[in-house]
Structures are given as C-alpha cells and as structure tokens.
Chain A
Amino acid sequence: MLTEDRIRRYVIELMRAAAIHLPEEVKTSLRRAYELEDDPLARRMLAAILENVELAGGRRRPICQDTGVVMFSVRAGERFPMLGRLPEILRAAVVEATRMIPLRPNAVDVITGRNSGDNTGDYIPWIDWEIVPEEDYAEITVMLKGGGSEAAGGVTVLTPSAGIEGASKFVLEVVKEAGPRACPPLIIGVGISGTTYTAICLAKKALLRGMGLRNPRPELASLEERLLNAVNMLGWGVHGVGGRTTALDLRIEASHRHPASLAVGVVSSCWAFRYSTMRIRGDNVEFLTHNFLNELEVD
C-alpha cells in the first residue's frame, strides 16, 4: 500500500498537471473551435489561446495566472485504506503544491480579507465525496476553478409551469449577462432539480463529465445539444469578440424535483478548464486524464 507521504506527492503532481497541462479532450475541443471559426478576431483570440496552451506545457508554467480555487472530488471505495486520512493528505498537498508549482495564493478570509498565502483555509480545499460500495480504490479529481468563470454561474427556483423552456432561458440569461467576463468559450454544467442546493451540486457534477459525453437519457441529451446551439447563437464568441463559439460544451444533470419547485443551477468553466484525475489502488497509481504522467515515479 502507498504511504501517506507518497500519496501526497502524487496529489502534488496531479495538481501540477492540472495547472500546466490542459486535458487532451479540452485541447481537441479548442482546436476544433479554431478550425471552424471564420471571424478573424475570434480566430486571432483562439490562436493566442492555443499558443498559450502549448507554451504552458513546454515551459512547464501554469496556463493562467489565476490558478483558482482548489476543489477535489473523491470517489472512494468503502475499503480504501486511507479513507479517513485523505482530507489531511489533500490539505498538506495543497500547501506544498502552492509553493512548488507555484500556484497563486487564492484563499482569502471572508471577514478580514487576509490571504492565507497557501491556498488553504476554512473549508478550502473543498472536497466532495462519493463512496463506492465494495471497492478498494480511490479516484481523486482536482479542479482549479478560476475566479472569472464564476461570472457565468447562478441558481434560481422557477415555478414548474416555467418548464424546461424556462430552465433553458435561465441558462441563456446567465451566459448572456456574464459575457466576456467569464473568459469564453465556456464549458457549462447545468443542474435541474427541486432545490437550489441539489441543482447547483448537479451542475458541478455535469461540468465534470467528460467533453462531448451526453446525458444517457435521450431527452436530456437532445436538450444539451439544443441548449449548446442556443448559447452559441448568442454570439458573444471567444472572449466576447464574436464568432461561432461561446461554449465548447454543455452538459445537464437532472434529479426528480419537488412538485412545487423547478430549480436550475449553472456552474461554468472558462476555456482554461483545468482538472486532472488519478486512481489509487493498492500500490498502483494511474493518471486517467493525463496519461503521460503514468511513467512518473515519486519517491
């Protein structure tokens, strides 16, 4: 079994990968947007984005200076031996990664305004848990969520008579209002549910689904396609300069709702959608989004 110390070092490498190397599927999506674009200014912006992505990888520097809020999602098997130790391991990794990569210190006390300096603080790093029955592995995803992309987020509770059409309109309003501030092209997660809390949780879950993967339910998959098209019809385009692509992808997760309420949540990422996933099982660590790290040995 891996020691705590080695898990921590692997988590640092996971964070480094997220900050420096955009996942291959996000890069592919950006390249496709560039190839499809015919607006000259939007093309110029996309070219700069792609150049930046290559340069960050080559120079091993963070893609964006806003290295974001550190958020983990852990899918842990009920028999994963380090289950109880993981929160401490993750926190220690964040402190060390902030200094080593380096990351920008982005954790600020809400009352005093003081920056903790190491990206940790009350409830930060944020950790979402999912327990997987019968299993003994842990799958850890880190997302570095930039501040600008929060402009394209929100939650509302509609009366059910507003229907899916009302829910869709809310998503469009959020993207329309955020405009260039959210650093489009965006990746948009939508949650449709019965309470504000469940809607926003589902929106984040939707955001972390892989690029281009559709909801298994055909009606929702179809809505994802139509809503993505509608977002792109708004015409903000890359960094708001116009053109075809305001969003690279849009995914929806839905739960059963309350009879009296239709809640809609939106959680978006800027184009610099930085996440990385690894799976720990026994002595073995497998990087799922950044395969090239599988050669890596930490001691």
Chain B
Amino acid sequence: MEYRLRTPISEQEIRRLRVGDLVFMDGLVVTLRDAGHRRAIEYLRSGRRLPIDLAGLVLYHMGPVVRMSEGGWEIVAAGPTTSARLEAYEPELIEKTGVRLIVGKGGMGAKTAEACKRFGAAYAIYPGGAGALAAEAIEEVEMVEWLDLGIPEAMWVLRVRNFGPLMIMIDSTGRNFYEERRRIVEENMGRTAGFV
C-alpha cells in the first residue's frame, strides 16, 4: 500500500501501516543523530522540555550538508544516517515524546520494535545516499537548535512536502522486515557453499 500522510500523525494512522508499505510525508520532520539523541534523553530525564514537541511528528536520523545564504539556511543534501547507532535511545524517546514515525536507514532492533508496538509508532527507511532527492522535498528550515553540537548533530526542524519514498520496516504490530530478511539471507548463505 502507498500512503500520503501529514503531521501530526495520529495513533490510528500509524497503526494502519504495515511492513512494506510506502509513505510520502507532508509537514514537520525533526532531525537528531547521536549527540542530539543523547541530549534529548538528558532533557527528558531531567524533566526539561525539548525545543519542539515531537508528539505526532517524524524523527529523521540525518545530518545535513547546509549552506547559509541571505535567505537563511539552505539544506543542500539530506539523506539518512545509519539508525542502528540510535537503538540505545529510541525506545525511551518514543515512549516519552509520542513521536510517531522514525526515519533512517539500515534498520533498528527489537527494543525499538517493542516500543513501536506499545506506544503506536513505526520505523521507515529512506533510500540511503539519496541526499539530493531528500533535500528537494524540504520546503524550508523552520528552526535549528543545539547548533553547539555541530551542523550534522544539531536539531533541524524541517517543513517537507512529499518526502519519500519511506518504506515501513517496523510496524506497530512489532514486525521487523530486516530481521525477517536477515533470516532469509542466513539460509541463502548456506546455499552459496560450493558455488564459489
């Protein structure tokens, strides 16, 4: 199935999505990488409010190439980074913020899948490396926070239009496409014996 969704995404909308579905997003996407996740978790644990309420929004594992011009920030390239590094933070972030859709590349683990199931969220991939295509979907930079972490690690709040294709890899039933794929690959590995 193919969906066009707009933020804020409701729990009902996210629970309708299944592994293998394609989604195109309109609305607000917030970026966080490693250092940004660490700080967000610190904030949440100490009861401080994040610069933006993530409830119903899209969280994107991405550190952009940017250019500063007279009109403000321009996002030049904006493809995803490897999500696995953020596995340690994501379940808590999902639980405490109500973020609905996590976007990255390469897949996430069992704890994130469990959090998606419990709290009504999903994980999708954006085609890795497609930085120019992703930048094309960004209409404007709404705000940027935590620039002290450096440009890639800062929290970028981006207004997007038709951001996709996002392919659902973990859905709110807890299914994890990559885990299933990995088992197939393990079986195929056996079949390559004798082939070389």
Q: A-side interface residues toward B, CB under 8 Å? A: 41, 44-45, 48-49, 51-52, 55-56, 59, 61-67, 102-105, 115, 146-148, 151, 164-165, 168-169, 172-173, 176, 179-181, 183, 223, 226-227, 229-230, 233-236, 239-242, 270-272
Q: How far, in Å, is B31 (CB) from chain A's closest CB? A: 11
Within 8 A of A (CB), among B120-142: 125, 127-136
- Contact yes or no, B128 A183, CB < 8 A: yes
Residue of A165, A173, A181, A230 near B82 (CB, 8 A) is A181
| Known contacts A45-B127, A64-B77; A168/B82 CB under 8 A | no
Ordered by A's residue number, 8 sampled pairs between the chains whose C-beta atoms are within 8 Å are A44-B165, A49-B129, A51-B130, A63-B129, A148-B82, A179-B106, A180-B105, A230-B195
Interface-facing stretch out of B41-49, B51-59, B87-95, B185-193? B185-193
- Contact yes or no, A63 B131, CB < 8 A: yes
- Contact yes or no, B67 A65, CB < 8 A: no
B78 sits at the interface (CB 8 A): yes
- Contact yes or no, A65 B77, CB < 8 A: yes
- Contact yes or no, B65 A103, CB < 8 A: yes
Q: Which of B82, B133, B196 has the most chain A CB atoms inside 10 A of its CB? A: B196
Number of interface residues of B (CB under 8 A): 48
Q: How far is the CA of A151 from the CA of B82 in the complex (A)?
A: 10
- Contact yes or no, B132 A61, CB < 8 A: yes
B9 sits at the interface (CB 8 A): no
Within 8 A of A (CB), among B163-195: 165, 167, 177-178, 181-182, 184-186, 188-189, 191-193, 195
- Contact yes or no, A240 B181, CB < 8 A: yes
Number of A-B contacts (CB under 8 A): 164
- Contact yes or no, A236 B128, CB < 8 A: no
B155 sits at the interface (CB 8 A): no
Q: How far is the CA of A168 from the CA of B192 in the complex (A)?
A: 10
- Contact yes or no, A240 B107, CB < 8 A: yes
- Contact yes or no, A55 B76, CB < 8 A: no
| Known contacts A44-B165, A64-B79, A239-B125; A223/B196 CB under 8 A | yes
- Contact yes or no, B135 A61, CB < 8 A: yes
| Cβ–Cβ < 8 Å partners of B22 in chain A | 44
Q: How far is the CA of A164 from the CA of B196 in the complex (A)?
A: 9
Q: How far is the CA of A104 from the CA of B196 in the complex (A)?
A: 40
Q: How far is the CA of A63 from the CA of B63 in the complex (A)?
A: 14
| Cβ–Cβ < 8 Å partners of B67 in chain A | 102
Q: How far is the CA of A103 from the CA of B76 in the complex (A)?
A: 10
Q: How far, in Å, is A240 (CB) from chain B's closest CB? A: 6
B81 sits at the interface (CB 8 A): yes
- Contact yes or no, A239 B133, CB < 8 A: no
B27 sits at the interface (CB 8 A): no
Residue of A52, A176, A226 near B185 (CB, 8 A) is A176
| Cβ–Cβ < 8 Å partners of A61 in chain B | 65, 76-77, 131-132, 135
- Contact yes or no, B128 A270, CB < 8 A: yes
Task: List the 5 shortest-distance A-B pairs measured between CB atoms, nearest first.
Answer: A56-B132, A65-B77, A52-B130, A52-B133, A183-B128
- Contact yes or no, A104 B152, CB < 8 A: yes
| Cβ–Cβ < 8 Å partners of B84 in chain A | 181
B17 sits at the interface (CB 8 A): no
B64 sits at the interface (CB 8 A): yes
- Contact yes or no, A59 B132, CB < 8 A: yes
- Contact yes or no, A239 B196, CB < 8 A: no
| Known contacts A104-B63, A104-B65; A65/B131 CB under 8 A | yes
| Cβ–Cβ < 8 Å partners of B182 in chain A | 179
| Cβ–Cβ < 8 Å partners of A173 in chain B | 189
Q: How far is the CA of A271 from the CA of B196 in the complex (A)?
A: 24
| Cβ–Cβ < 8 Å partners of A103 in chain B | 65
- Contact yes or no, A165 B151, CB < 8 A: no
| Cβ–Cβ < 8 Å partners of A169 in chain B | 193, 196
- Contact yes or no, B192 A172, CB < 8 A: yes
| Cβ–Cβ < 8 Å partners of B133 in chain A | 48, 51-52, 55
0/1 string, B135-160, CB within 8 A of A gives 1: 11000000000000011100000000
- Contact yes or no, A271 B136, CB < 8 A: no
Q: Which of A151, A165, A168, A179 has the most chain B CB atoms inside 10 A of its CB? A: A179
